Amino acid sequence: MLKPSKKKVDEKKVLNRKSASEKSRVDSLSKKVLAKKGFILANKRLILIFAVIICLVLAAALIYSGNGNTKPIPNLTNNSNQSNTTFNHYENSNISFNYPLDWNVSTDVAPPMIVTVMKDQDNLFSVFSEALGNMTLRDKLLLWKANINQTSNITYEQVITVDNTKAYNVEASTKSESGTFLTRGIALEKNKKVYFIVFVFNQSLLDYKDQMDLVLNSFHVKEQA
């Protein structure tokens, strides 16, 4: 039997080295992918919360018209004496509302979101605004509900009054591996804009009725000069 030539043996060694090198690269890439996957899974609950909010706000990232790029400057003063404080107050150049004392407000958000107020990462509400542009309020509402139906089940709808204006109330539930989230979205039109107030909770909406009433009964959109 003929022995393989030295040249062929050397070529085989080179190929084996290349194969080992490729395998090492693949293993390294796999570790990075797994690490990234682990990060995503670890933050899955928070990601789901904001995914639900985005869906409830009428595909805001897709149809945002470019309004509201200025970050609001909140006024966190209370409407009552310090000794009798029962709620906090948020106010910027466009909107104002009251919210529970032990909840935290954040304006470190990107348009079309204006502000988020959190009890914790599973229980919160956010306010968004979008210009109507060439659309009607009915167009916005239809898109809003279509996006809700993509990830959630609408359980209740009604017309209510917020800030002396007709508003549309849509409630829905979203199931995931980490549990069921219940949402309540309110949409109203003021100053040729649609304002959305979106509540997200991990328990019954009735458990947060007082907190939602506090926000909705005090919510006000300022008239534009």
pLDDT digits (tens, 9 = 90+) for 30-54: 444 343 333 333 334 444 444 555 4
Going across the sheet that includes 220-221, the strands are 88-91, 95-99, 220-221
Edge-first strand order for the sheet with 123-131 is: 104-106, 113-120, 123-131, 193-201, 179-190, 165-176, 153-162
At residue 217, the pLDDT reads 98
**pLDDT number for residue 109:** 87
Mean pLDDT of 2-27: 52
Q: Residue 87 pLDDT more than 50? A: yes
User: Which pLDDT tens digit goes with each residue over 113-137?
Assistant: 999 999 998 999 999 999 998 998 8
CATH superfamily, with its number, for domain 44-221: Mog1/PsbP, alpha/beta/alpha sandwich (3.40.1000.10)
Is a pLDDT exceeding 60 seen at residue 10?
no
pLDDT at residue 25 is higher than 80 = no
| Whether pLDDT at 74 is above 70 | no
The three-class DSSP label of residue 15 is: helix
More confident residue, 172 or 16: 172
pLDDT tens across 106-115, in order?
988 888 999 9
| pTM for the full predicted model | 0.66
Reply yes or no: is the peptide bond before residue 74 cis, omega within 30 of 0: no
Residue pLDDT, tens place only, 149-206 = 988 999 999 999 999 999 999 999 988 777 889 999 999 999 999 999 999 999 999 9
- DSSP character for 173? E
Percent of the chain whose predicted confidence (pLDDT) is above 90: 47
Amino acid 28: pLDDT: 46
Q: Which residue has the higher pLDDT, 64 or 56?
A: 56
- Split at pLDDT 50, 70, 90, the class of 58 is very low
